[in-house]
Structure 1
Amino acid sequence: MGPWLETFAVLLVAACGILLARRLARCSRPWWGFWYLLPLGIIALMLAVRVREQWAFAGALAWLVTGRLRYVLVALAVTLGLVMPLSHLPRRWERIATGVFMVAVVAWFSVLPFLLPAVIRHQLAALQTTLTADGVCLQSTDYTCGPAAAVTALARLGISADEGQLAIHARANPVTGTLPAHLSAVLQRLYGDRGLRCRYQRFDSVAQLAQAGPTLAVLRDGRLRDHCVAILAVSDETVTLADPALGRISLGRQQFAAQWRHRAIVLELTQAGAGTFFPQSSL
């Protein structure tokens, strides 16, 4: 599904949420309160996963909250949660303020993550893949650290890739950056027939990361932002990174552990793809 069609789909979900909420708002008070638990439950789930990150990898929850589907769920939860009480607000200005707030939240958290990749597609296609002398791909924008780190990791497996094309497929954008779960799925889809196997998983320790091979680790970059780096080596004292913003750097294991979200995309080649060099991809 292309980004324009995805944008239409999330707008349709929001519209359905509004229509459903208006219908449910006509229910009697006990039932009205019961249906209000649905949007509250969705929002509570999102917040709980943010606080207890290990829950994001628990079966069906991973499918719901780590990928782009969560933006669709936000559209549904916000429209249901804010339209249902509108008719119960006594003042007109309260209803107007609630409606404006709803539109702003849905636009920012649900529509823009789908719309922006369509709008900036040509800009991403024009990005030049920049490699340092030691083979680290430097990110061309503030929001393409994931694709740039992937270029570095893929190169270590003998696969040549392009930052801009990976960013297009991964739906990178200035609002949400690049979701690691979606990037993992994109890499698997693009290079799976070449022997690449990707999985997005949680790690308990840096020691586990040392045994994983080529990985794209997710680091904290502020309270609400993440940063993606390629792991080059893990020793007893240091972790060597290919940072798309800084180049090749080394951090102490404790310093790295303090920044790491204990999440990473693991890349590996099957026997069919091992030892094979793949030319520059025209994705």
Structure 2
Amino acid sequence: MHLAGQFAAPPSDRIKRIEPAMDAKTPFVILLAFTLALGPTHAARAADIRFGNVLPTGEVYRAKITSLREARFTGIVPQATDFSCGAAALATLLKYAYDIEVDEWTVMAGMLAKADPGKVEKQGFSLLDIKQYVEGLGMRGRGYKVSEQRLRSLRVPGIVLLDTKGYKHFVVLKRIAGDRVYLADPALGNKTLAFNDFMAAWPSKAVFVVIGSGFNRNSV
């Protein structure tokens, strides 16, 4: 599936960090900010490796090394908490499909400004939280029930809720090619599923799409 659509570039001031007021939500937000600041402790990062005595001139040669994790998460905003897959999936879609410079924290802070933090911590963000945040940016968020035929004809990425043995998880549906479904999973990285396996893990048959200016048809 290829992306389609031509839109004007989005205003540079569209994304603003939303700071929740000091209320009952504040302790949860502070803890969340601290968690995100630490980042994943197990993430391996790319590095420059220096090789000496390789070139005839004796010069030092530098090679860029990309870790397996970085390669797996190319084009994805990884989730930093167990409950933030919805925020990370939306951040992925906004950043790579609309070229909007946004991170997971910005999206989470914006959604938490209107959501119940206790419910979010237990159940994660909902599609309603995602829809409200998107509309706050001046964009439109729409959820559609789609048939298999309609799903194969989609030309834009969308957010879907997978349910694997009771574990519910938001991912970005990038495209479908033949019998393979290509997903951007904020927890596991880029992956593909057989079409039948995807359909079995997607009981709602609903896809959430973002509609707005600045759409990059070559992003996915």
Shorter-chain TM range is 0.5 to 0.7
- The match for 1:177 is 124
- The match for 1:186 is 133
> 1:149: how far off?
0.8
> 1:258: how far off?
0.5
TM-score of the pair, normalised by structure 2 = 0.62
Paired with 1:144 and 1:209, the residues of 2 have a C-alpha distance of 28
TM-score of the pair, normalised by structure 1 = 0.49
1:228 to 163, 167, 170: 170
> 1:204: how far off?
2.9
More strand by percentage:
2
Q: Does 1:251 pair with 2:205? A: no
| Percentage identity across paired residues of the two chains | 25
Closer, same or farther in 2 for the Cα pair 1:162/1:258, shift >3 Å? same
After the TM superposition, which residues 77-96 of structure 1 pair with which residues of structure 2 at under 5 Å, given as runs? Answer: none
Aligned length: 157
After the TM superposition, which residues 140-219 of structure 1 pair with which residues of structure 2 at under 5 Å, given as runs? Answer: 140-155=80-95, 156-171=97-112, 173-189=120-136, 191-192=137-138, 196-205=139-148, 207-208=150-151, 210-219=153-162
1:251 partner letter: L
- The match for 1:8 is none
| Unaligned residue ranges in structure 2 (runs of 5+) | 1-19, 41-68
RCO comparison, higher one (Cα < 8 Å, 6+): 2
Paired with 2:22 and 2:144, the residues of 1 have a C-alpha distance of 30
Q: Does 1:124 pair with 2:32? A: yes
Instruction: Flag as ranges the 4+ runs of structure 1 deviating above 3 A.
Output: 2-5, 128-133
- The match for 1:268 is 211
Paired with 1:241 and 1:145, the residues of 2 have a C-alpha distance of 13
- RMSD between superposed Cα atoms in Å: 2.7
> 1:182: how far off?
1.7
Closer, same or farther in 2 for the Cα pair 1:209/1:228, shift >3 Å? farther
| Unaligned residue ranges in structure 1 (runs of 5+) | 6-114, 276-283
More helix by percentage:
1
| Contact residue 77 and residue 103 of structure 2 kept, 8 A | no
Closer, same or farther in 2 for the Cα pair 1:252/1:121, shift >3 Å? same
Larger Rg: 1
Deviations 1:102-159 (A, max 9, x none): xxxxxxxxxxxxx6x5431113334258894421111101000001111111122211
Deviations 1:148-194 (A, max 9, x none): 111111122211212112112223632120011221221221x21xx
SS at match of 1:135: coil
1:252 partner letter: A
